[in-house]
């Protein structure tokens, strides 16, 4: 038994099925602990009041949104280099979750901005980069949706993903540069002036919960993608009949 | 190798000359989009001067994307692309030649039209010079990065809109550095930093984009 | 010259062929048979190097074609379903660019002669847009005479040609093989190549 063994969709499918409940369970437990810390243990901020508690959602979502894009790029690169179909499927399964976290980061950013800055949206460097990241996710998913041939969809998506990942640092740098030149808001969501240790812990636990959730959801999604791709093979037919 | 590159460029330029109508469409698109902005925001000269560089740059991005949709599509449809991919030369050279031809056909006219549009927006002479300079460095990047999108969306339904969706986010640094250079010249903070960053981005695109485009072509033609 | 081992191809979810193997020597022709959608074109595209097989490899002079891509580019000429003819160029210009893109020498007298040999001497100066489908096919095929390639891969070369055209192309292919060339073709129409060693394979069961 080695890693190559699980690189085949037919063996990965049951393995993923076994792993999903574990990751889902971890996500629920960690999420509960994280929420408890964020709402009951973490003290009220003397400057920002109770409203600041949204960072316990916002910051982990923003972290995950970027992290997932990197993980996708990793699997895309592996797929292109070693021609493994499963890698492309994992990248593809991760994309909607990544886009969701990006959207949550933007949404909570807007909610945070209203009481703090008195406006729903500021062209803050981080929020702007996050918006462009959302565009990158949308582009990736739109390209995959437009291509019917699975082999081409996999590879084209992977290439776009890699171009995006090369570009992200440049985009981030350029947006930051643009932001400082235009003297936009210098208040940043993460750089809260008095970050207590317990707040950091709350964010970390929430990020871990988000991570476990991502793994569980994308494993489930890749199982569906595998069945869809392999539906003409013996084992996939047996699976589908077993479920019906 | 160089002869092959020149042939690719010469062929595309000749085809564009024989089909001037298609070529003019993209140029007029650029002029029209830019002219819509004063109608939308009002003719206040001070306001126009502020938004001018950004408007010209955004319109340049859109005009570029409009013509990029056909970079490989015609050759793909009539089978010439297959022949070019089978050539003994590296496919990245083909992608470089195609991007270069696109820049000559669509980028250079933008450089020539842009100052006239800049005058409409009341940009001072020095800013006009920087506008042309920033476009001269920036538009080749648009052609190079856009080539990747054109190759990825080859033969797909709704390829024109799709390429915009894929490539526009990648154009963000070009827009920021390009429009920033012109604003820098106007506000007196200088534009050298912007232009050199744009130059660095151009060098990087030259090194990477043709290679990725060639991989994308292979994927799409298969 | 050209050999194929253990070749397999899938399109979408369908397996088109597998364990395909053959070997071609100088002066031989290969006819690929099979009904519509059985993978003839897919096979030809794999042999030309445009697509990659799901399994197996194509060898040119004993080397995998990806390893000798440059040499294979000079030695092989491919004509697919599409003629690769630009509407806005004249037949002569089309041939000239085709030669330059494939890194070949171009002699315009020779090109005029090639076009004449396929019965196109009266439309050398016309833009290709004015030509009929069969005439465009002839322009594409006349490029073969200028290519100097050892291996011809032709996907349905006779499509759209009239009786005269078919006879001309048969003669063209015949003289190529007689001169020691190799040809791989698919065709629905009967192709008469007397005295040529023909191998035929069928794909897709």
Q: Model confidence over C71-107: pLDDT tens digits?
A: 999 999 999 988 889 989 999 999 999 988 888 888 8
Q: For residue B171, is pLDDT > 90?
A: yes
Query: Is the CB of residue A128 less than 8 Å from the CB of residue A49?
Result: no
- C154 strand-pairing partners: C79, C185
- Count up the domains in chain C and report the number: 1
**Distance of alpha carbon A120 from alpha carbon A107, whole angstroms:** 9
Asked if the C-beta of C194 comes within 8 angstroms of chain B's C-beta atoms, the answer is no
**Distance of alpha carbon B24 from alpha carbon C146, whole angstroms:** 36
CA–CA min distance A39, chain C (Å): 51
Query: Is the CB of residue A165 less than 8 Å from the CB of residue A69?
Result: yes
CB contact under 8 A, B219 and A163: no
Q: What is the pLDDT of residues C154-165, one digit of tens each?
A: 998 888 888 888
CA atoms within 13 A on the CB side of A241: 7
pLDDT at B182: 93
pLDDT band at A148 (very low <50, low <70, confident <90, very high): confident
Could you tell me where the beta strands, DSSP code E, fall in chain A? none
Summarize the confidence of residues A141-151 as an average pLDDT. Answer: 90
pLDDT band at A4 (very low <50, low <70, confident <90, very high): low
Asked if the C-beta of C13 comes within 8 angstroms of chain A's C-beta atoms, the answer is yes
Q: For residue A191, is pLDDT > 70?
A: no
Summarize the confidence of residues B160-166 as an average pLDDT. Answer: 90
Residue C192: give the domain boundaries: 2-202
- C9: phi then psi, degrees, rounded to nearest 5: -145, 135
- Per domain, the residue ranges of chain B are 2-221
pLDDT band at C151 (very low <50, low <70, confident <90, very high): very high
Q: What CATH number did the domain enclosing C143 receive?
A: 3.40.50.300
> Which residue of A151, A154, A230, A234 to mutate against C (max C Cβ within 10 Å)?
A151
Q: Give the β-pairing of C28-33 and C182-186.
A: parallel
Q: What is the pLDDT of residues B11-52, one digit of tens each?
A: 999 999 998 888 888 899 999 999 999 999 988 999 999 999
Of all residues in chain A, the one with the smallest CA distance to C52 is A151
Asked if the C-beta of A234 comes within 8 angstroms of chain C's C-beta atoms, the answer is no
> Which residue of A80, A85, A153, A232 to mutate against C (max C Cβ within 10 Å)?
A232
What average pLDDT does the structure give for chain A? 85
Q: How far is CA C24 from the centre of its chain?
A: 15
**Distance of alpha carbon A56 from alpha carbon A47, whole angstroms:** 17
């Amino acid at each position: 038994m080695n890693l190559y063994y699980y690189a085949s969709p037919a063996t990965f499918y049951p393995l993923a099925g076994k792993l999903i409940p574990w990751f889902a369970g971890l996500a629920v437990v960690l999420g509960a602990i994280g929420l408890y810390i964020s709402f009951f243990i973490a003290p009220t901020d003397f400057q920002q009041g109770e409203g600041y508690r949204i960072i316990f959602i916002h910051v982990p979502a923003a972290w995950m949104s970027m992290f997932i894009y990197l993980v996708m790029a990793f699997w895309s690169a592996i797929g292109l280099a070693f021609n493994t179909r499963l890698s492309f499927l994992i990248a593809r399964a991760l994309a909607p979750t990544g886009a969701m976290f990006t959207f949550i980061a933007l949404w909570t950013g807007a909610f945070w901005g209203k009481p703090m800055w008195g406006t729903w949206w500021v062209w803050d460097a981080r929020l702007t980069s996050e918006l462009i990241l959302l565009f990158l996710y949308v582009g990736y998913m739109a390209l995959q949706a437009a291509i019917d041939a699975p082999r081409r969809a996999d590879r084209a998506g992977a290439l776009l993903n890699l171009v995006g990942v090369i570009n992200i640092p440049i985009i981030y740098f350029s947006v930051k540069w643009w932001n400082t030149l235009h003297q936009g808001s210098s208040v940043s969501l993460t750089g809260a002036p008095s970050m207590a240790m317990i707040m950091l812990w709350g964010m970390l636990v929430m990020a871990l919960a988000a991570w476990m959730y991502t793994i569980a959801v994308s494993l489930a999604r890749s199982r569906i993608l595998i069945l869809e791709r392999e539906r003409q093979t013996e084992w996939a037919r047996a699976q589908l009949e077993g479920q019906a | 190798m160089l002869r092959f590159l020149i042939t690719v460029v010469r062929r595309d330029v000749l085809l564009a000359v024989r089909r001037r109508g298609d070529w003019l469409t993209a140029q007029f698109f650029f002029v029209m989009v830019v002219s819509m902005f004063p109608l939308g925001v009002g003719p206040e000269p001070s306001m126009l001067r502020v938004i001018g560089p950004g408007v010209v740059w955004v319109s340049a991005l859109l005009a570029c994307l409009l013509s990029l949709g056909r970079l490989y599509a015609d050759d793909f449809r009539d089978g010439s692309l297959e022949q070019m991919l089978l050539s003994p030369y590296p496919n990245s050279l083909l992608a470089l030649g195609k991007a270069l031809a696109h820049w000559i056909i669509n980028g250079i006219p933008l450089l020539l039209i842009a100052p006239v549009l800049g005058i409409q927006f009341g940009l001072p002479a020095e800013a006009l010079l920087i506008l042309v300079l920033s476009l001269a460095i920036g538009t080749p990047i648009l052609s190079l990065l856009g080539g990747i999108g054109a190759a990825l969306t080859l033969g797909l339904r709704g390829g024109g809109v799709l390429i915009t969706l894929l490539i526009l986010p990648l154009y963000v640094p070009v827009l920021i550095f390009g429009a920033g250079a012109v604003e820098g010249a106007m506000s007196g903070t200088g534009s050298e930093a912007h232009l050199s960053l744009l130059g660095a981005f151009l060098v990087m695109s030259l090194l990477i984009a043709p290679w990725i485009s060639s991989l994308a072509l292979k994927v799409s033609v298969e | 010259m050209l050999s194929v081992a253990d070749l397999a191809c899938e399109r979408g979810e369908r397996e088109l062929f597998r364990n395909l193997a053959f070997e071609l020597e100088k002066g031989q022709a290969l006819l690929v048979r099979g009904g519509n959608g059985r993978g003839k074109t897919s096979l030809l595209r794999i042999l030309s190097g445009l697509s990659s097989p799901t399994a197996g490899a194509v060898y040119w002079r004993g080397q995998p074609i990806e390893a000798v891509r440059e040499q294979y580019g000079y030695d092989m000429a491919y004509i697919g379903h599409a003629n690769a003819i630009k509407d806005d160029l004249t037949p002569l210009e089309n041939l000239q660019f085709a030669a330059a893109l494939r890194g070949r020498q171009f002699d315009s007298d020779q090109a005029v002669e090639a076009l004449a040999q396929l019965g196109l001497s009266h439309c050398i100066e016309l833009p290709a847009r004015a030509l009929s489908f069969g005439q465009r096919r002839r322009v594409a095929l006349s490029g073969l005479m200028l290519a100097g390639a050892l291996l011809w891969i032709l996907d349905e070369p006779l499509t759209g040609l009239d009786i005269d055209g078919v006879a001309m192309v048969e003669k063209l292919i015949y003289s190529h093989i007689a001169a020691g060339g190799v040809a791989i073709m698919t065709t629905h129409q009967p192709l008469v190549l007397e005295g040529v060693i023909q191998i035929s394979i069928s794909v897709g069961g």
